[in-house]
Chain A
Amino acid sequence: GENVEQHPSTLSVQEGDSAVIKCTYSDSASNYFPWYKQELGKRPQLIIDIRSNVGEKKDQRIAVTLNKTAKHFSLHITETQPEDSAVYFCAASTGGTSYGKLTFGQGTILTVHP
């Protein structure tokens, strides 16, 4: 089955800096890659996603890039703010009989210092 590795496990940055979180996946058939943000004590919420027919997607300060050949994708947050502090999860989903099944990475604890 699919295996998703996420790095780093913790990331500490100063307000205004950029943050990058990387994920690799094992199943070359994976075609959907969402990123979720989970604040302490709250539910995971989708912040951005990308499908395999696109190499990059941006939404204001957040961007995701996908390299299908290398089977990795990354989350980029620019001009970080204290409210960006949370746990971020990447995930990968395949098609076929497991269509819609998300396999999650281990999570990255992002801390943005004022």
Chain B
Amino acid sequence: ETGVTQTPRHLVMGMTNKKSLKCEQHLGHNAMYWYKQSAKKPLELMFVYSLEERVENNSVPSRFSPECPNSSHLFLHLHTLQPEDSALYLCASSLDRGYEQYFGPGTRLTVT
């Protein structure tokens, strides 16, 4: 157990639904990240938060909306997604930016 948990582990949603992914880290880290992992593509960084402040938005469409209420929790709010958004969404945390990143188990998202 790396200390990073994600819920739900699997999610199926329609294109008009609104859902949220949750990530929690129990490691006392100050930086948190969202990644997208699609088949046959490299891991893509979506967002970086450092001390609850968003420091990186990697040209992600506005249908993905992150929220970091405190340094232990990170959410990804989803609305009006497209089928091509189906992927594994991974959360990670690190002591600070530039340090080893610990990944959560991911949420397998399917958009129908």
Contact = CB atoms under 8 A, between A and B. Distances in A.
Contact of A46 (B43, B90, B96, B101): B101
Contacts of B90: 43-44
Given A100-B48, A105-B42, A44 B103 contact: yes
Contacts of A103: 42, 45
Contacts of A46: 100-102
A42 B105 contact: yes
Contacts of B48: 100-101
A43 B45 contact: no
Interface residues of A, number: 25
B42 A106 contact: yes
Interface in A80-114: 89, 91, 93, 95, 98-107
Nearest to A98: B56
A36 B105 CA distance: 14
A34 B100 CA distance: 8
Contact of B100 (A4, A43, A49, A98): A49
Nearest to B44: A104
Contacts of B56: 98, 101
